[in-house]
Amino acid sequence: MSPASLLKELIAIPSINPMGQDADGPEFFEGRMSDYLERWFGELGVECRRIEVAPRRHNVVARYAGRPDRPVTVLDAHQDTVPVDGMTIPPFEPHERGGRLYGRGACDIKGGMAAMLTAFARIVRDRPAGCGDVIMSCTCDEEHGMAGIRDLVNRWNSSDSSDWMGRRPDAVIICEPTSLDIVVAHRGVVRWEITTSGRAVHSSRPSDGINAIYRMARIVSGLEEYADHLERTGAPHPLCGTPTLSVGRIGGGISVNVVPDSCRIEIDRRVLPGEDASRVMPDVDTWLRERVDVDFEMRPPWCVVEPLSDARNGDLADRLLHHVASVAGPRRKTGVAYGTNAAAVDAAGIPAVVFGPGSIDQAHTKDEWIEIEQLDLAAEILVRFLSDAGERSRIGS
Ligand SMILES: [Zn+2]
């Protein structure tokens, strides 16, 4: 089956991530996609495991057993898509037009998954002499909580390596639409809330109360200064720019005639490769307490995505780039603004890069599509890369 035919089947199986909201109905969660993948790997005749990560959410992981003296490579593509609200095309009825294939997930990332599955099937069929173990991981919940990749990485970090699921891989390729460039670095993000409290009284007697919004205004000014300081003094990363901080939402008070007793803001702090994400909130806390004389509370973060560092993936990126160039022409190593599953892998000390067909410009869009030619190129590149995986000792050095 061609990658495009496979992609049509994948698009026709809804696997919407509810993005943390209450959602019911067969189009939500990855269950039907996991069923399909389990069957698909079964028909291919490879070992396959379906691992529950959360209720109704499974990773489906399959293994091709190659030469034990060669590197273990993981190909990862997530099963979920973003929601379909506002789409201008039928999301689950794939159709071809002008060399493009349309549907939800065509670009992010069922197209990439189709290319990876095609490459995996060719490796299983042809058993190239130079190929080590290839693990195809179809992870769940990438678009919201990244629970799927975390579960997989936890297994690699645990001491049980007697089973193939627990063996630490030598290299991981995370599929996202990179237009066949190789993403070697991206920023991470920490998001959290700060609250201030006050005392509510009638607005005709404000001096009897304590205005939580006035308190928050001083916090916000302090954060504006901190953001400026961060961009001026933080050492920029060549591919990812400077660290940043932004206050993105504010809310407080119940009525114009009541002095507000609470106010809250939401903060987005982008973390550079090499920065320690766990230091982000303590640093902000110290900055504010030294400069702003009001009480506030830092709530626990609801989102922490580690950065992807280019410190350990150079060799992997160069070897992949060589095959990209020979199949698709010159491409580059690059950094991007969005976060990926590669960050959790990198944080575990395992070389990881991001690579896949399609452009990020078409991901999550109302008329999502992918160029069919890119699917074929990506599959061919991956087959050549896996067939020429090198010696174990070369990887990760
Ligand atoms: Zn994606």
Residues 279, 224 contacting (CB under 8 angstroms):
no
* Ligand 1 centre distance from Cα of residue 31 (Å): 18
pLDDT, position 1: 87
Q: What is the mean pLDDT of residues 10-21?
A: 94
Q: Residues of the chain with pLDDT > 90: what percent?
A: 88
State the average pLDDT over residues 20-45: 94
Ligand 1 centroid to Cα of residue 63, in Å, is 22
Question: Could you tell me the fold of the domain covering 3-186+307-394?
Answer: Aminopeptidase (3.40.630)
Alpha-carbon gap, residue 8 to 248, rounded angstroms: 38
Cα–ligand 1 centroid distance for 218 (angstroms): 38
Confidence of residue 194 (pLDDT cuts 50, 70, 90): very high
The distance in angstroms from the start CA to the end CA of the chain is: 37
The confidence score (pLDDT) of residue 389 equals 66
Residues with CB in 5 Å of ion ligand 1: 108-109, 176
| SS3 annotation, the chain | CCHHHHHHHHHCCCCECCCCCCCCCCCECCHHHHHHHHHHHHHHCCEEEEEEEECCEEEEEEEECCCCCCCCEEEEEECCECCCCCCCCCCCCCEEECCEEECCCCCCCHHHHHHHHHHHHHHHHHCCCCCCCEEEEEECCCCCCCHHHHHHHHHHHCCCCCCHHHCCCCEEEECCCCCCCEEEEECEEEEEEEEEECECCECCCHHHCECHHHHHHHHHHHHHHHHHHHHHHCCCECCCECCEEEEEEEEECCCCCECCCEEEEEEEEEECCCCCHHHHHHHHHHHHHHHCCCCCEECCCCEEECCECCCCCHHHHHHHHHHHHHHHCCCCEEEECCCCCHHHHHHCCCCEEECCCCCHHHCCCCCCEEEHHHHHHHHHHHHHHHHCCCCHHHCCC
Compute the distance from residue 360 Cα to the ligand 1 centre, in Å: 9
Q: pLDDT tens digits, residue range 222-275?
A: 999 999 999 999 889 999 999 999 999 999 999 999 999 999 999 999 999 989
In the reported structure, the alpha carbon of residue 176 is separated from the centroid of ligand 1 by a whole-number distance in angstroms of 5
Higher pLDDT, 176 or 21: 176
Mean pLDDT, residues 143-150: 91
**What number of CA atoms fall less than 13 Å from residue 278's CA on the CB side?**
1
Tell me the domain boundaries of the chain.
Answer: 3-186+307-394, 188-305
Same fold, 3-186+307-394 and 188-305: no
CA of 265 to the centre of ligand 1 (A): 28
Q: How confident is the model at residue 395 (pLDDT cuts 50, 70, 90)?
A: very low
The model's confidence at residue 33, banded by pLDDT at 50, 70 and 90, is very high
271 CA distance to ligand 1 middle (Å): 20
Span from the CA of 108 to the centroid of ligand 1 (angstroms) = 5
**pLDDT-derived band at 393, boundaries 50, 70, 90:** very low
Does residue 21 carry a pLDDT above 90? no
Judged by average pLDDT, the poorest of 31-35, 45-49, 155-159 is 155-159
pLDDT at position 391: 58
Average pLDDT over residues 332-348: 93
Q: What pLDDT digit, counting tens, does each position of 54-104 carry?
A: 999 999 999 999 999 999 999 999 999 999 999 999 999 999 999 999 999
Q: What's the CA-to-centroid distance between 183 and ligand 1, angstroms?
A: 13
Report pLDDT for 394.
46
Instruction: Please tell me the distance between residue 51's alpha carbon and the centre of ligand 1 in angstroms.
Output: 20
- pTM for the model stands at 0.88
Contacts of 233 (CB under 8 A, 6+ apart): none
CATH number of 188-305: 3.30.70.360
pLDDT at 108 over 70: yes
pLDDT of 392 reads: 55
pLDDT mean across residues, the chain: 94
Query: How much is the average pLDDT of 325-332?
Result: 97
Going by pLDDT thresholds of 50, 70 and 90, the confidence category of residue 285 is very high
Share of the chain above pLDDT 70, in %: 98
Lateral strand order in the sheet of 171-174 = 47-54, 57-64, 134-139, 73-78, 171-174, 352-354, 182-186, 333-336
81 CA from centroid of ligand 1 (Å): 7
